[in-house]
Chains A and B, each alone.
Chain A
Amino acid sequence: MERRKFLSLLGTSAGLAGAGALPQLAKAADKKWTVALVPGLTTDAFYITMHRGADAAAKALGVDLVFQGAPQWGVTLQVPVLQAVIARKPDAILIAPTDKQQLIQPLKQASDAGIAVITVDTFIGNGIYQTGSGDADFPLSYVASDNILGGKIAARALAKAIGDKGKVFVANTIPNVSTTDQREQGFKEEMKSHPNIQILQTQFNDDDANKAAALAQAVLARDADLAGIFGANLFSATGSANGVRAAGKVGKVKIAAFDAPSDIVDHLKDGTFEIAIAQHPGEIGYFGVVAAVAHLTGNSVPALIGTGFTVMSKDNIDDPNVKKYVYTG
């Protein structure tokens, strides 16, 4: 089953990398390429799932994969790891940069040393590469979910769940994180075409479930007729759910959760969460490696590769084709 999945994905990837890519990819086995994956942090189910996807592609293509990162999100932690990785002279680096600006110079060094740089999940500069302008256009490709689209999908699903009317708010983690900001942006853009839905102030919880719970309860104290909450990341969603439960409003206040680790997915059926938006981190890892190998074997690579989402609800979660996108450690 796993193998079949690799093959079907490989088929897709060959199409993606351009016609005739497959024989070229096969030739990669002659020279053993080394690709390094540097995640935003190593201790997160999202990046662990990404690593599994990258590993699958590496095995399928006969590439050595190195996985090295910091246990926690942060520039000062990631840069030393990156420099150690550069010192090992891999042929390509896949990296989830922890800052849009501060990672430009360290990655430029890698690029100048002849290492192909591809960013995954997060980006440097504005995420638009290979334009020939700007100091951050040197990475070959940006492989990620479209978080704005993810926010829109969440908004559509939440709007449907609350009958297209009522008050909602975004529970968000920390301001100015590119991905969660984009989810909020997409959510709000989509809600513009739902005129009967009123969006209240965003509440930031510092990625603390305890605070997210209290904030949801405070909003409910003020607006008892609250219809829905969009939890823009894990703790925003689980914390809000706890606040809603304490207020005795499970099922009355619908919660859309972004991301799909098992502690969210497990509670779709009891109504704690109405929907969970799963990104496909395995796909990001897989296509990151495929893009690197395509480049190393002389093929062109698209500057942006968008990976998909799966909307999970209690109605479809038992379907193995949906369930396989749950993040696992």
Chain B
Amino acid sequence: MSTLSTPVAASRRTTLARISDLRAWLFLILLVVFFEIWAEVTYHSSFVLNPYNLQSISVFATAPLLLALGQTLVIISSGIDLSVGFTMGLAAVIAAHVSNLSMDALGLGEIPAMVLAIAAGIVVSLVPGLVNGWLIAHLRVPPFIGTLGMYGVTRGAAYLIAVGATVPIHNSAYTWVGNGKIGELPFIVLLTAIVVLATHYLLSQTRFGQHTYAIGANRDAAIRAGIDWRRHTIKLYLLSAICAGLAGTLYTGRFLAGAAQAGEPLLLDSIAAVVIGGASLFGGSGTVFGTIAGALVIAVIQYGLVFIDVEPFWQFVAVGVVIIISVLVDQSQRRLAGERQDG
């Protein structure tokens, strides 16, 4: 443990976090058991022991989960990043263009073009990340407003660069990144798992992680403890943008085209995943493993409801209800836990 001088608060936090963590996973298990029973009874086959279902759901969850990872860091620090969806779209479009240009204009092979494309997508995403962090840390713009502004800027930039269309790629190496498998394991799932572990390590095992919780729990106290919150905040928004950039470049590989609106529908899912995972929108709590559970809960419901053939409009209702229940359970747990500690 390092400079943080509040071990009691820290241990309280981890206890709380563990409860919330566990809750999201319990909820996930409950859902899976429900679909398993349904599948056994109706189709006489397993829902969860079916590698095809596992692959489909895990691939489905990768993009929202990548966005949610960055979002987790930002939300723990009591911020929010509304620009991730279009940062993802911007990266997707840039990556597609760079792949095409480096093959057609520079005459590069498929693999170098793919590497260059992914690198370019991620580098471009640093710009909105940096602007977000700078607006929030130095100009004291509230995160909701600052990142909403960048939501507009990145959206416009993505559409301008895409010139109003999706940008198709013709690069089988890049397509493999999005759709290839190592054995039975889809490559994007493997890559996402690595990012998940890295983020988990960063958040739970390093000073960087401790500072993130400290800033979110009480910024003034964190500043008094000597944390450079401005620098730290900029780093957090940069990390969030990098996650979004990676998600965007993977999208292009997966769907064989970059699209400006690639991440638009994922913004709310990413925030929902973090909250279902046990983080508080007021900052100071949340874990990567909670967020994984949150993202999987959303993916499993969506997939499972189609699997058991629920009517489409009821699917919307069911997903909404599950999110509300999940957060309500969390709130009441928090209140109980808070009362216990205060008393």
Q: Which residues of B contact A42 (CB under 8 A)?
A: 164
Evaluate contact between A208 and B166: CB separation under 8 angstroms: no
Q: How far is the CB of B53 from chain A (nearest CB, A)?
A: 6
Q: Which residues of A contact B59 (CB under 8 A)?
A: 213-214, 246
The residue in chain B whose Cβ has the minimal distance to the Cβ of A48 is B164
Q: How far is the CB of A63 from chain B (nearest CB, A)?
A: 23
Evaluate contact between B307 and A222: CB separation under 8 angstroms: yes
Evaluate contact between B307 and A261: CB separation under 8 angstroms: no
Q: Which residues of A contact B264 (CB under 8 A)?
A: 208
* A210 at the binding interface (Cβ < 8 Å): yes
Classify chain B's interface size: 35 or more
Evaluate contact between B166 and A263: CB separation under 8 angstroms: yes
* A292 at the binding interface (Cβ < 8 Å): no
Evaluate contact between A213 and B60: CB separation under 8 angstroms: yes
Evaluate contact between B56 and A217: CB separation under 8 angstroms: yes
* B311 at the binding interface (Cβ < 8 Å): yes
Q: For chain B, what secondary structure do more than half of its interface residues adopt (helix, strand, loop), or is it mixed? A: helix
Evaluate contact between A329 and B162: CB separation under 8 angstroms: yes
Interface residues of B in 153-173 (CB under 8 A from A): 155-156, 159, 162-168, 170
Most buried by A among B156, B164, B262: B164
Q: How far is the CB of A239 from chain B (nearest CB, A)?
A: 7
Evaluate contact between A222 and B60: CB separation under 8 angstroms: no
Evaluate contact between B159 and A71: CB separation under 8 angstroms: yes
Q: How far is the CB of B221 from chain A (nearest CB, A)?
A: 40
Segment of A10-18, A112-120, A198-206 engaged in the interface with chain B: A198-206
Evaluate contact between A214 and B260: CB separation under 8 angstroms: no
Q: Which residues of A contact B167 (CB under 8 A)?
A: 263
Evaluate contact between B266 and A208: CB separation under 8 angstroms: yes
* A234 at the binding interface (Cβ < 8 Å): yes
Bound: A221/B56 CA distance, A: 9
Cross-interface CB contact of A329 among B163, B302, B316, cutoff 8 Å: B163
Interface residues of B in 120-149 (CB under 8 A from A): none
B248-278 toward A: CB 8 Å interface, digit per residue (1/0)?
A: 0001001111011110111000000000000
A25-62 toward B: CB 8 Å interface, digit per residue (1/0)?
A: 00000000000000000111101100000000000000
The residue in chain B whose Cβ has the minimal distance to the Cβ of A202 is B312
Q: How far is the CB of B320 from chain A (nearest CB, A)?
A: 13
Evaluate contact between A218 and B307: CB separation under 8 angstroms: yes
The residue in chain A whose Cβ has the minimal distance to the Cβ of B302 is A214
Q: List 5 A-B contacts (CB under 8 A).
A: A48-B164, A201-B311, A211-B302, A217-B60, A238-B255
User: Known contacts A215-B303, A218-B304; can you find 9 more A-B pairs with CB under 8 A?
Assistant: A44-B165, A175-B313, A207-B261, A210-B63, A211-B265, A214-B57, A214-B302, A242-B254, A263-B166
A residues adjacent to B (C-beta < 8 A): 42-45, 47-48, 71-72, 175, 200-204, 206-211, 213-215, 217-219, 221-222, 234-235, 238-239, 242-243, 245-247, 261-263, 266-267, 327-329
The 5 closest A-B pairs by CB, nearest first: A329-B165, A218-B306, A214-B60, A45-B165, A217-B56
B residues adjacent to A (C-beta < 8 A): 43, 50, 52-53, 55-57, 59-60, 63-64, 155-156, 159, 162-168, 170, 179, 186, 251, 254-257, 259-262, 264-266, 299, 302-304, 306-309, 311-313, 315-316
